[in-house]
Amino acid sequence: MKFLLAAGLLGVLLGGCASQQEQPAAAAAVPAPDDDAYCRARGLKAGSDEYVNCRRDRDHIATTMQSQKSKGDLRKIQDYMMENK
């Protein structure tokens, strides 16, 4: 029973990773409203080098945070499986 629960959790996590990678390129090209607002609030004009760098930095931060969350979730599943053999 515990194995089924752990396997189910792992499946949900892996399914989330697959759905993130399958986004169309057009959807990825559309700026996130909060990132756009963040960069514009700093006086950066859309299309300028500074604006592009701001957006790239925001994307890098978001990607890093998601990666760390995924690694943490995987560690929790592994710990659970080791404790409940």
| Domain ranges, ordered by start, for the chain | 2-83
pLDDT (0 to 100) of residue 51: 94
Length of the chain equals 85
Tokens of 65: 């945070």
Q: What integer pLDDT is reported at residue 55 of this predicted model? A: 93
Using 50 as the pLDDT threshold, list the residues of the chain that sit under it.
Answer: 18-29
7's CB contacts (< 8 A; 6+ apart) are none
CA distance linking residue 79 with residue 36, whole number of Å: 39
Confidence at residue 10, expressed as pLDDT on a 0 to 100 scale: 55
**Which pTM does this prediction carry?**
0.49
Q: In 1-85, which ranges are E strands?
A: none
Position 49 scores a pLDDT of 95
